A and B are shown apart, each in its own frame.
Chain A
């Protein structure tokens, strides 16, 4: 029996971002497509967030391991650049998970007023455009005084 696309997607749901282990690569928008041809050959198409993202190699390895663990050996992983990854590709569920984890999700409508993921206050301040990883910037909450990461729009 040929494995279905949705079965592959279910397996890949277990592959998380190594830097943010609560969000799957599908929710993050890194997983662009899954193709299964008539012979059951699987192609997994991914796209990098940032060109120098050091997590990409690890993500490829994790995909590789996840598929092999389920007995799928006939596959390849393709990386595409175009159209370029954008935070718009992130799912609503992904955004909710980020917030739960303590990272403010991207807010394309207004990048000035960012909600503190710890106390919910909008009285926050940008500390640095560059945070702990390339995809985040560093904020501070003026109410609860906690610093937090903001997943910046890209």
Chain B
């Protein structure tokens, strides 16, 4: 291994992308209308693309002759370092939208900062991904406003999702030892900086959507250390089935 901390740092974000991409893909063929079905699977594809770029780089740092596929298909739940937010179930369309919005408001500012990474490869992955997350944040933000400021039914339902997901919003900007070391070394970003920008964006959109902000700032944590909710096991069972049942199988 060239750099254990850099590997861990990349895996955190790669796992966020892969798991959320998988969750969104569950909507394929089930979207409320065709256009939004396509939107969700488009975003899913972008996320899986970003995950691939990150896993490819991580596997090179790992120097064990493994590939991106090994990292995606052959690790266990405790090896995954995604935040709990991205593994939360899709729920109704509003819940998927709000989960997406919480993620997009992180990833957009995260990649914006990561573009300044001292690691050129990470900086170029970030520049590429940032362009995509701008679309995603526009889409999810517009929908939060439309549902919140929509009918009584849509307002109540997305408010319910806001309340349910609120305690999952802050793990993604919580700082662990991997983040600390990455920032110190120069290839990582300042999560403190991202937190402020992100909070402002969330506040502005919720206001426009006429949605109220839950009072408690309690945050569920554990995903970044590999302690997950029961949902991740089921996601991986689906995602990894083929490689587990038929090891080494290829297209």
Contact = CB atoms under 8 A, between A and B. Distances in A.
Interface of A: 48, 50-54, 80-85, 127-132, 134, 138, 154
Interface in B119-133: 120, 123-125, 127-129, 131-132
B127 A51 contact: no
Given A82-B124, A82-B127, A132-B38, A51 B46 contact: yes
Name, among A83, A130, A138, A154, the residue most crowded by chain B CB atoms within 10 Å (CB to CB): A130
Interface residues of B, number: 26
Contacts of A131: 38
A50 B42 CA distance: 10
Nearest to B43: A130
Contacts of B49: 48, 50-53
Contacts of B53: 51, 81
A54 B52 CA distance: 12
A154 B42 CA distance: 15
A127 B35 CA distance: 8
Main DSSP-derived SS at the A contact region: loop
Contacts of B48: 52
A48 B127 CA distance: 13
A50 B138 contact: no
B47 A129 contact: no
Given A51-B53, A127-B35, A130-B39, A81 B124 contact: yes
A52 to B, nearest CB: 3
A128 B142 CA distance: 12
Contacts of B231: none
A81 B49 CA distance: 12
Given A52-B45, A52-B46, A84-B127, A138 B35 contact: yes
Nearest to A82: B124
A134 B127 contact: no
A138 B139 CA distance: 14
Nearest to A86: B131
Contacts of A132: 38
A43 B94 CA distance: 48
List the 8 closest A-B pairs by CB distance, nearest first: A52-B49, A51-B49, A82-B124, A128-B35, A130-B39, A52-B45, A130-B42, A81-B124
A128 B135 CA distance: 12
A154 B131 CA distance: 7
Contacts of A128: 35-36, 38-39
B125 A81 contact: yes
Nearest to A53: B49
B46 A84 contact: no
A154 B47 CA distance: 16
A51 B128 contact: yes
Given A50-B132, A51-B128, A82 B123 contact: yes
Nearest to A54: B45
21 contacts: A50-B49, A51-B49, A51-B50, A51-B53, A51-B128, A52-B45, A52-B49, A80-B124, A81-B53, A81-B124, A81-B125, A82-B124, A82-B127, A82-B128, A84-B127, A128-B35, A128-B39, A129-B39, A129-B135, A129-B138, A129-B139
